[in-house]
Amino acid sequence: MDHGDVAWILTSSALVFIMTPGLAFFYGGLVKRKNIINTIMSSVVLMGLASILWVLIGFSLSFSGDIGGVVGNLDWFGLGFDGFTDATFAPNTLLFAAFQMMFAIITPALITGAIAERMKFSSLVFFTALWSLIVYYPLAHMVWGGGYLAAIGSVDFAGGNVVHISSGVTALVLAILLGKRKNYGKATYHPHNIPFVLLGAALLWFGWFGFNAGSAGAANELAVHAFMTTNTSAAAALLSWLLIDTLKTGKPTLVGASTGLVVGLVAITPAAGFVPIWSAIIIGALVSPICYFFISVVKPKLGYDDALDVFGCHGIGGIWGGIATGLFAQNSINEVAQWDGLVFGSATLFLRQIAAIGITIAVAVVGTLIAFGIVTLFTKGIRVSKKDEELGLDISEHGEAAYPAFNGMD
Amino acid sequence: MVISMKKIEAYIRPERLEDIKIVLEKYRLNGMSIMQIMGFGNQKGWKEIVRGTEVDYNFLQKIKIELVVLDEQVEQVVDSIVETSHTGEYGDGKIFIYDVADAVRIRTRERGEDAIK
């Protein structure tokens, strides 16, 4: 066991962990002040729930053995392997389990932005547990555990499919099933604490170095490469979002900068360890206009209420990232990519990327419908009452107020 | 000049504000002010549990709406606010109605009813 690798992956695991409370602040700042505690809590509860599920069955179902290329088995129930010696996953299987656990925490947390301000907390907890079981573990297995998506030769460096497309598509389906917020379209739902939004986005950026550079699996040149593509894409997307802001409204906004950097990180996630650094500028610069167009033009036409644009940012940004990987990947950077991307003259990888995106969407849609059906049955409807929605979910679900002595209606 | 305007002061549940705003829009009122206030009536305060210990809050968050309307609009507006705010439980709030002596629109120096049209 290479202790340099161990040190880096341990560090990366802690970096990915901080992304979930970061996400909580990112989302919390975007909602109305009467719902910030509920929104933050939706991520925080997963730091407990998804961790325990992962230790008990999640890691085993994702990475132990293989059943039909779709899911793992239960041989590693309760992390039942020798943590000191097992090196099925280099440099150490227990370390790999710890690193991957952080991904299993943040992915369901991403979904919670779409259903903010109106979903019953009990239903959300139940849903995310079931969703982890039906959607996340199978997808992690298919992409990284030697399952079907790896077998067809598609690549996903740090989780464009597993994390972002899956959570983004789930967010879309769940937001449609849940229905719009009471005053959606009549009242404006504007962010109530923009500094919190940036605080969260900054923690996400910081943590994303572990997310992407840690996904190299070792303290090596590839990790350094992924670190640099990650930062470059985030930077380009931040700037291009500010440019759109300025062109459209005349003023660059902090919410725009925060959103831009996040979608830049989303887009580079599947590509970070496969594409040249110059292409990270293109991937990042283009993701902002793509997401901006989707959120400001397509979403209002379709009329669903994805409260914090989880699909618009993670779904659409993730799909662009998967496609961009098929465009710019180079076998010489990372031989896990068996073919070069489309811009280097080969369409093979590109087509397999498209196929992988399609399969991910299908798994997420079907899994979400099943989980929704079960949760609706057991928690008698997943939506809070009209009165509780007006009162705010902080009081109705948690009996706490974020700003008890502070005036403000936003 | 006969002035026939009334000031309506309504203390309501914060969660009813959006609905009241939507209802009042149809009367084409030319303005309305809201204040976020703390207060209590028969409902008294509420309790929050902090780390297992009860904490009392003596005052509740309420919204105070102030608007000045012509006499003939008063009944409609008051009815709308009552209709939208009523739940039948303690804490629905109160409405006070006052005579207004005069009004001035600062921009144009208009007086009386002209100032609120």
pLDDT at A170: 98
Residue A393: is it exposed, middle or buried by C-beta count within 10 angstroms (0-12/13-18/19+)? Answer: buried
Question: pLDDT at residue A406 above 70?
Answer: no
Mean pLDDT, residues A375-382:
93
- A187, A392, A401 member nearest B18 (Cβ): A187
- On whether any CB of chain A is under 8 Å from the CB of B62, the answer is no
SS3 for A335? Answer: coil
Q: In which band, very low, low, confident or very high, does the pLDDT at A168 lie, cut at 50, 70 and 90?
A: very high
Q: Which residue of A has its CA nearest to B34?
A: A409
Q: Looking at the complex, does the CB of residue B16 fall below 8 Å from at least one CB of chain A?
A: yes
Least trusted range by pLDDT, from A117-126, B22-31, B41-50, B66-75: B41-50
Tell whether A28 is covered by a domain. yes
Interface test with A, best of B15, B33, B37, B64 (most A CBs within 10 A): B15
Put simply, whether B34 touches A (Cβ < 8 Å) is yes
Is A301 an 8 Å CB contact of chain B?
A: no
In a domain, A404, yes or no: no
A390 part of contact set with chain B, CB < 8 Å: yes
A37 to chain B, minimum CA–CA distance in Å? 14
Which structure tokens are listed for A347? 């369409």
Number of helices and strands (H, E) in chain B?
2, 8
At residue B55, does pLDDT exceed 90? Answer: no
d(CA A20, CA A196) in angstroms, rounded, equals 14
* For residues B79-91, average pLDDT: 91
- Residue A65 located in a structural domain: yes
Q: Does B18 touch chain A (CB under 8 A)?
A: yes
pLDDT at residue B46, rounded to an integer:
65
Tally Cβ neighbours within 10 Å of residue A338.
14
Average pLDDT of the residues in A280-293: 98
Tell me if A167 is assigned to some domain.
yes
What confidence tens digit (pLDDT) does each residue in A62-118 have?
Answer: 999 999 999 999 999 999 999 999 999 989 999 999 999 999 999 999 999 999 999
User: Does B28 have pLDDT greater than 80?
Assistant: no
Mean per-residue pLDDT for A195-220? 97
Contact residues on chain A for B48, CB-CB shorter than 8 A? 399-401, 404
Distance from B16 to chain A by nearest Cα, in Å? 7
Q: What digits encode the pLDDT tens for the residues A229-284?
A: 999 999 999 999 999 999 999 999 999 999 999 999 999 999 999 999 999 999 99
- DSSP H helices, A135-253, are 137-144, 148-151, 166-178, 194-213, 221-249
Q: What is the pLDDT of residue A135?
A: 97
For B49, the closest chain A residue by CA position comes to: A399
User: Are A121 and A38 in contact, with CB atoms under 8 Å apart?
Assistant: yes
Complex ipTM tops 0.85: no
Return the domain boundaries, chain B. Answer: 5-116
Asked if the structure places residue A169 within a domain, the reply is yes
Range of the domain at A218: 3-398
Q: Does residue A156 lie within any of the structural domains?
A: yes
Give B50's strand partners: B53
Residue A408 lies in a domain: no
B5/B71 Cα distance (integer angstroms): 5
- How far is residue A205's CA from residue A373's CA, in Å, rounded to a whole number? 35
- Which H or E run includes B95? strand B94-99
Q: CATH class for domain B5-116?
A: alpha beta
* pLDDT of the residue at B30: 77
Whether residue A68 lies within 8 A of chain B, CB to CB, comes out as: no
Contact A135, A363 (CB under 8 A): yes
Number of domain units in chain A: 1
> Is residue A142 situated within a structural domain?
yes
Q: Which residue of A has its CA nearest to B51?
A: A400
CA dist A40 and A22 (Å) reads 9
Residue of B nearest to A406 (CA): B36
Residue A306 pLDDT more than 80? yes
Q: Distance (Å, rounded) from C-alpha A149 to C-alpha A407?
A: 52
**Given CB atoms, is B58 within the 8 Å cutoff of chain A?**
no
CA distances for A160 relative to A112, A130, A139, A325, angstroms: 18, 21, 11, 10
Which range has the worst mean pLDDT, A134-143, A147-156, A378-387, B21-30? Answer: B21-30
Domain harbouring A315, CATH code = 1.10.3430.10
What distance in Å separates residue B105's CA from the closest CA in chain A?
27
